[in-house]
Structure 1
Amino acid sequence: MALLLADQPAIAQDTPAGAPQATDSRGLEEIVVTARRKEESSLKVPVAVTAIGSATIERTNASDLTRIAQISPQIQVVNSSTAVASFVSIRGIGAASNDQFIEQSVLMDIDGMQLGRGRVTGLAMFDLQQVEVMKGPQSLFFGKNSPQGVISIKSRGPGDTLNGYIRAGYEFNARERYIEGAIGGPLTETIGLRIALRADKTAGWLKNVAPEGPQVNPVDPFFPNIPGRYKDRRPGSRNVAGRLTATWTPSSSFDTTLKVLVADSHNDGDAGSRELFCAPGVTKLTDYGVADPTSDCKLDGRVSVGGLNPAIASEMTGGKQTEAFGAGRNTLITLVSNYSPTDNLTLTSTTGYYHYKYRGIDNANLTSRPVVSGRNNASNTSVTQELRLSSNFGGPLNFVVGAFYEYGKRLQDSIAILRSVGPDPTTGLHYTLANISRDRTDAYSGFGLVKWAFAEQFELSAGARYTKEVKDSERVSPYLHAAFAGRFSPAGTVLTGKYKDDDLSPEVSLSWKPEERQLVYATYKHGYHSGGFAAPTTLSVINNMGPIGSPGTLQYGPEKTKGGEIGYKASLLDRSLRIELAAFRYNVSGLQITSFDGRNFAYSINNAGKARTQGLEASAEWRATQELTLRGAFGYVDAKYVRYVGAPCTKAQSAVTPVGCVQDLSGHQLPRAPKYSATGGADYDIEVGNDMKLGFNVDFKYASSSNQQETLDPNAFQKAYWLLNAGVRLYQDDSGWSLALQGRNLTNEHVSTYTLDKSAGGIGEYQAIPLRTREIRLEAGYKF
């Protein structure tokens, strides 16, 4: 950095005074970000932010967050089967996702509405303008707070002229078909409109080798008849989504934008993307000690999953379904209005509404002989409102002040059969238990920031956000089979609790611009993530809503982050080279962790005493020639438990100490936090005549080894891996036809991104959420 700074005056002196300035067509486009909730150059923002534009999204076919993570270092995204939708971590820190009510430590901002949970994040990734990944606590500008970072997803607007596109593709391995398109433009001088649609259908990339039916289940004497293999491939899905965008600009002082996203999703069962594997020395997967004859105990793209007994499925769904399935409806509405009473003041109102409803049932033990099944119905309604007043004075002082409110209502209605033991003598029902969880959340927040440009090259900004959150929770057990009395909460159990907490999160940053296109910054930040009550699918007899840390309590505490970072950004060599450097260190108290309780078939949440993440990251993009662009990024993160003496045990440890087993994980690396990660690639585009271009691209991602399970089970390690992507496309640049052949994970790596103990399995048997295997995709499109 010192060499670059020292070199700038010398470069400037190479051009004689008064001589015309040379222009270089190799200049990279300016990156405009909204990290401070307004559009500004990335070189003015003291935040480590990775911006991924529409061209990159289209080139890499980044139609979900896992693909965004594959082209960004120090970001981990895992597709989850819960209402949270995905586990997301930045720089090694992320909240657990296997509880239906927990909110993520990494916030999602979709067209101005902040979400800590919700399956819509996996359905909104089409017709996008930009995705921004903001790293580290973002306490001032997004929602009620975000302790580890923000992923902002911004869809396209109508545009100034009539424009649109249509594209369709086919992926050969998963037999995936998709089509999407959009059209937009001005209707009048003041009104603009855009409509975008996407539909896709996937057979699945995991091959199911379970025997075809009908079969006899030796583990279930009461319902022995099972249909055998359920679908030849998993995870099958089909989705339809549409977005309407309307803008109104009646005057130069007022504008408003309405966006309505509606999405329907269907799948063959929520556990469809999971795969089972075994520890070394374990050769067969089992269900209550009975081996599954067709399992192979490996992460190799093969599963052995049988269908549910139709009578059991019908009983658990009230006669509405006899097979495993999942179905959801998502609605997301945002209204953003800006009013400028003067040239230097802007009042912004952002209103958000999100509603989600889902129902489904699946084979939870994931073998050819289903013995554990779960039916989960869930709904969520969130309403947010933010008012923000910002200034743009010509003098050295400017400010942003605002207030935020969030209302949330959540419901989870679960039924589970853990093992078939015949009919209940009182009700005649065969399933084990039913459980209902309800939450209401009210969050109030106020924030303010003052920016002071106290010298020509320096700016100091300081602000804080105050948050108060109240949660009213209820956990109900309406039914329990008599055979499980004494193990789970009896029928009629009602647990109620109220959680209240508040927090003040300050933030200070100092920026120095040694040159027009360089920025050096240092920041100190706080981040906050509220606690609450866990919502497990089963309630044990000792569960209660007592104080945090008391035996059996469902209550968990807040997660707080404190620390800072220093960074450097620059656009050099006549804007053909862009680099970013950052070094960071944050301490996290009360890190929220989930672990699987195999005895109770439920996830529990607790707080680790203290964790720390520290490291550095560097990225560069260089347009070496007019045809060739090179890019690369590297990250090192040391994310570990500083103090965690009451951590839950592994399954093997619990077998030795079945009651009250805990372990000390202090000093150990956090789960899913590889120390080293890197991404890189190249684009090469040449003219081939008739306004056509031929483009080649190659990308890679590297991640070092990491443990994928909260208990740090030694058998849950994922070794270091490389992912290789490449593509070729023939296209017309600004408008016209395109044809692309794209490959992802070309070396067909089998990678576990999240590991859990297998339901009804023995020691050394696990379930994993794997990365998608090799993809070969052919796509054709037209844009205008």
Structure 2
Amino acid sequence: MTGINAHVRLSASALAVAVSIMTMSASELRAQTAAGAGNESHDIVVTARKRAEALTDVPVAVSVLGSADINRYAAADLEKISGLAPQVSVTRGQSGGGANISIRGLGSGSGDQALEQTVSINLDGVQVGRGRILSTGMFDLQQVEVLKGPQALYFGKNSPAGVISLTSQGPTDSLSGYVRSGYEFVADEAFLEGAISGPITNNIKARLALRGRYMKGYLVNTAEAGPNPGDPRYPASGAYRKREPRTKDLIGRLTVEYDPGPDTNITLRVLGSTGDEGGFTNTAQAICFTNPPVLTTGGVVNPGSECKLDRYFQSGGLPEGFPLDGFPHAKSDGRPFQTTNTWLPSLTINHDFGQVSLTSVTGYFDMDFKGAGNSSYTSLGLIYSTIGEHSKQFSQELRLNSDFDGPLNFTFGGYYAHNSMTGYVASAQIFRKIVPDPATGYSMTFSRATSSSGDTYSGFGQLRWNIFPNVELAGGVRYTREHKEASTGNVYVHPNAANIFAPAGLFLSNSRTESNWSPEFTATWHPVRGQTLYAAYKTGYKAGGISQPSVVTLNFNKDNLLFNPERTKGGEVGYKAELMNGRLRFDLTGYYYKIRDLQVVALIASNSSSFLTNAGVARTQGIESSVNWTISDAFSLRSSIGYNDAKYLSFANSPCYPFQTAALGCVGGQQDLSGRQLVRAPKWNILGGGTFTYPIGSDMEFTATADVKYTSSFFTQDNEHPLSRQSAYTLIDASARIEIPSKGLEFAVVGRNLTNRYYRVVQIDTTIGGQNQFGAFSTRPREISIQASYKF
């Protein structure tokens, strides 16, 4: 199915299902409810409006993943977890913010350190906008909620495209825990994790969870040592490691829950992680669309470098003997590395005054990232770079929520956050002979430093009016005021590069203060128990700021680094039903949103620099539906389908891609992307799967599960180079497990991407590369793993 006709057919069929369900007589539904009285409830509880509500009742488009869903395919990071939810894309990036996160095709790129994500990550109530949170493993989770569309009222300061909310497992009332270990054969990846939980005193409970992992890597680096045609003084070193991305990490979480009285609960969580992933470019493969296939850097041909996306690639280390004097945080031997250390403590206090409850969430986020690698993605390693950032955030949220017996209830609160970040980038262009700087002795091309800080003040409120027992009208607004300051510039520039880079010591500094009102209105109708029909008008906002490009060239000044706020406005209509005593859940949502001044990363092809700018107007519209059917205790089916038409309505000033001519649409260094599909915004996302459980004897169960995911084609590059379109692909995941409940034992075999499909999720132009040559970041190929766990 393609095009508008497919859209119409999908809409018609989905609406027909909804109408058929709604036209069932009320007596039939009451009969079902009565027949199921006393049976186990299948309600899924969510906190999309910061209070416990049944999934079917809440008037929000939300996809929910429980611990069983997450563990089904051993998903222990946000990239894998996001693959289980429809119309969600989460991938890492090389530079800048370090991530590309989108929902329904709306999201942010990764090429600028000033970039906050359009989709926010909320971990145990603490909102994080820094994309490099993706480097932190996520395990021992109770639930993941993906809230789609603008989320202005309930999560942090504001999220124009949605929120991924993660809730960790809490302490238990009795002593319990688990140990789980696994091994993946393709990447030679081993992990060990576990948790212990239980009471310490009558009113204190605690949970300690730890996870360690080591991986040799799923890519084979075949770069060989030899002569360096770029600079014969420094021979090519070849591959530093034969397998990439070599990874080792450790993550732990301590949760302590204190109940000083029947009306008060205090929960302290401390998350800490440390990881070394071998290099920030060590999963990038150089690909080309040339005949014959050849890769160049600054005109120098890279011998032996292949041009296709597969398990084999060539990424040379720093050429032998090249001096690293002055390079910030480079290893003495120039080896590629990437370390990320994260701390995220939070304190949540809940106090019940009777019909009004008060919640306080205090959070602190500290992340230090450093890395070095080959930014040419080729065998010779002709561009060596280091990059790093240290981000800190303190946040405080207070929220009052009422639960009166009458028709009127409210939520009111306030939010404050202070953010700071320091970062650096340094690079050496070894594709040409570099004479040491006579003043410093340095051979690097440039070294750039940046710093920024910001304060956010926000107040929010919502009134909910049950005009009838089954009809609710809700209206609310969030006011936000943000102040940002930033300074960026070069601390060193080699004399030979003075005609390209801004002079050392010239720092471009600016500040920006702005405010916003983001209203939201929702009408909800429950025609009968277990059904919800809602309509919502929603808005979202993300503040503007000061771009902090990785490369500060002569064309930048303090004013053209400013970018405008991003604003989302639109609405959606949704229908949800829970039938057959909760065994069948169905939902259908139609949505339409316009985004003004979408923040995008623009590349200047002439000097390979990039900066944050604004597209004119973008739009996303579509329809999505999911069905979950528990046919019996032994067999269940799940499916979802989404059609999403996300495109630029106006974006006339997008920078051209390298070698783009006037005949190809490049006029005055700009191209018009109006009417083009947004980046990483496939029109079709279709998922389907099932789980089968079969008893073996009196105390053993066998469970088999399989899921198929189809994704249509999409652009992978911000400048929408025609060769950056990834074709449609289909993925198959499957697992089988045997459980012995009485002994707490479980053994599993898990397969992901069983079709072994290599596909691009992010593509960038190679630095000083030839025409139609790119660096491509792909997801992992086929994974086959075994794991065993013991629960007590």
Q: Do they fold alike, i.e. is TM over 0.5?
A: yes
Task: For residue 119 of structure 1, report the CA deviation from its aligned partner.
Answer: 2.9
Structure 1: which 5+ residue stretches go unaligned? 547-552
Say if 1:530 and 1:559, in contact at 8 Å, map to a contact too.
yes
Of the structure 1 ranges 56-65 and 137-146, higher mean CA displacement relative to structure 2 is found in 56-65
- Indicate the larger mover: 431-440 or 594-603: 594-603
Alignment equivalent of 1:21, drawn from 31, 35, 39: 35
User: What is the number of equivalent residue pairs in this alignment?
Assistant: 770
Amino acid in structure 2 at the alignment position of 1:236:
R
> 2:659 is paired with a residue of what secondary structure?
helix
Q: Percent identity, please.
A: 38
1:64 Cα deviation after fit:
1.5
CA distance in 1, matches of 2:148, 2:36: 36
Contact 1:218 1:224 survives alignment (8 Å): no
In 2, are the aligned partners of 1:118 and 1:356 still within 8 Å (CA)? no
Partner residue of 2:674?
666
**CA displacement, residues 693-746 of structure 1 (integer Å, 9 cap, x when unaligned):** 100000111100111111111111100000001111111348611110011000
Equivalences for residues 744-755 of structure 1 within 5 A: 744-755=752-763
- The question of whether the paired residues in 2 share the 8 Å contact of 1:120 and 1:263 is answered with no
Verify the 8 A CA contact 2:647 2:677 in the aligned structure 1: yes
Counterpart CA distance in 2 for 1:331 and 1:353 is 8
Rounded to whole Å, the distance in 1 between the matches of 2:638 and 2:556 is 52
1:246 maps to which residue? 256
Q: C-alpha separation between the residues in 2 aligned to 1:724 and 1:28?
A: 31
Aligned to 2:397: 386
Shift of 1:598: 4.1
Cα distance in 2 for partners of 1:576, 1:20 equals: 14
Distance 1:111 1:83, change over 3 A: farther
Residue 199 of structure 1: how far off its partner (Å): 0.6
Preserved CA contact (<8 Å) 1:28 1:623: no
Unaligned runs of 5+ residues in structure 2 are 1-17
- The 1:544–1:143 alpha-carbon spacing in structure 2 relative to 1, beyond 3 Å, is same
SS of the residue corresponding to residue 67 of structure 1 reads helix
**Quick one: which of 278, 284, 287 aligns to 1:268?**
278
Q: Quote the residue 1:779 is aligned against.
A: 787
**SS, match of residue 3 in structure 1:** helix
1:763 aligns with 2:792: no
Question: 2:374 matched to 1:367?
Answer: no
What's the offset of the Cα at 1:2?
A: 2.3
- CA distance in structure 1 between the aligned counterparts of 2:63 and 2:290, rounded to whole angstroms: 40
Q: Quickly say closer, same or farther: Cα 1:717–1:20, change in 2 above 3 A.
A: closer
Aligned in 2, Cα 1:726/1:12: closer, same or farther, shift over 3 Å? closer
Instruction: Confirm or deny: 8 A CA contact 2:93 2:762 kept in the other structure.
Output: no
Aligned 8 A contact 1:728 1:740 in 2: yes
Kindly tell me: are residues 361 and 558 of structure 1, through their superposed partners in 2, closer, same or farther at Cα, counting changes over 3 Å? Answer: same
Aligned AA (1:680): G
What is the DSSP-based 3-state SS (H/G/I as helix, E as strand, rest coil) of the residue aligned with 1:471?
A: strand
Which of these residues, 676, 687, 695, is aligned with residue 687 of structure 1? 695
CA gap of 1:733–1:652, structure 2 versus 1, over 3 A, is farther
Q: Deviations over 1:81-125 (max 9, x none)?
A: 346342111001101222122100000000110001143344241
Whichever residue aligns with residue 295 of structure 2, its letter is L
Q: Which residue of 11, 26, 33 maps to 2:28? A: 11
SS at match of 1:57: helix
Per the alignment, residue 596 of structure 1 pairs with 603
Residue 326 of structure 1 pairs with residue 338 of structure 2:
yes
Indicate the residue corresponding to 1:549 in structure 2: none
Letter in 1 for 2:564: G
Amino acid at match of 1:104: Q
Contact 1:28 1:577 in 2 (8 A): no
Aligned equivalent of 1:635: 642
Distance 1:647 1:118, change over 3 A: closer
Give the Cα–Cα distance (whole angstroms) in 2 for the partners of residues 386 and 593 of structure 1: 29
The answer as to 2:479 corresponding to 1:466 is yes
Alignment TM-score, normalising by the size of structure 2: 0.94
- Counterpart of 2:56 in 1: which secondary structure? helix
RMSD: 1.9
SS at match of 2:368: strand
**Preserved CA contact (<8 Å) 2:596 2:616:** yes
Kept after mapping to 1: 8 A contact 2:96/2:549:
no
Match of 1:587, as an amino acid?
Answer: K
Aligned to 1:207: 220
TM-superposed deviation, 1:320: 4.3
Summarize deviations over 1:436-455 as a string: whole Å, max 9, x none.
11001101100000000011
Which AA in structure 2 matches 1:140? L
Q: SS in structure 1 opposite 2:676?
A: coil
Alpha-carbon distance, 1:590 to partner: 0.2
Q: 1:739 matched to which residue of 2? A: 747
Deviates most, 109-118 or 308-317: 308-317
**CA offset digits 1:272-294 (Å, max 9, x no partner):** 11112112535111122222222
Structure 1 residue 349 corresponds to structure 2 residue 363: no
Query: Which residue number in structure 1 is paired with residue 7 of structure 2?
Result: none
| TM score, norm. by length of structure 1 | 0.95
Aligned pairs (5 A) from 1:300-699:
300-309=310-319, 311-312=321-322, 314-315=324-325, 316-317=327-328, 320-322=331-333, 323-340=335-352, 342-419=353-430, 420-546=433-559, 553-653=560-660, 660-699=668-707
SS of aligned partner of 1:603: strand
User: Is 2:295 aligned against 1:285?
Assistant: yes
Distance 1:249 1:91 in 2: 41
Letter in 2 for 1:561: T
**Structure-2 residue corresponding to 1:550:** none
Does the CA-based 8 Å contact 1:305-1:367 persist in structure 2?
yes
Distance 1:12 1:264, change over 3 A: closer
What amino acid sits opposite 1:682 in the alignment?
G
Q: Deviations over 1:372-414 (max 9, x none)?
A: 1111121011000011111110100000111100100100022
SS in 2 for 1:11: helix
How far apart, in 1, do the equivalents of 2:345 and 2:651 lie?
41
**Deviation at 1:167?**
0.5
Distance between the aligned counterparts of 1:361 and 1:634, measured in 2? 41
Check whether the contact 2:618–2:650 (CA below 8 A) recurs between aligned residues. Answer: yes
SS at match of 1:652: coil
Deviations 1:620-654 (A, max 9, x none): 00011220010000000000000111111111216
User: Could you give the per-residue CA deviations for residues 21-73 of structure 1, whole angstroms, max 9, x where no partner exists?
Assistant: 35697x77311111111222112211000010001111121111222222221
Provide the rounded CA distance (Å) in 1 between the counterparts of 2:740 and 2:535. 43
CA distances 1:481-504 after superposition (whole Å, capped 9, x unpaired): 000112110111111100111110
Residues 432 and 480 in structure 1, CA contact (< 8 A), matched pair in contact too: yes
Cα pair distance change 1:654/1:758, threshold 3 Å: farther
User: 8 Å contact 1:372–1:417 — kept in the other structure?
Assistant: yes
Q: Is contact 2:753-2:781 (8 Å) kept?
A: yes
For residues 671 and 118 of structure 1, the distance between their equivalents in structure 2, rounded to whole angstroms, comes to 17
The answer to whether the Cα contact below 8 Å between 1:694 and 1:729 also exists between their aligned partners in 2 is yes
Deviation, structure 1 residue 198: 0.5
What secondary structure, in the 3-state scheme, does the structure 1 residue paired with 2:696 have?
A: strand
Cα distance, 1:20–1:767 mapped onto 2, change above 3 Å? closer
Distance (whole Å) between structure 2 residues aligned to residue 746 and residue 492 of structure 1: 53
Q: CA–CA distance in 1 between the matches of 2:120 and 2:446?
A: 34
> Secondary structure, in 3 states, of the residue corresponding to 2:660?
helix
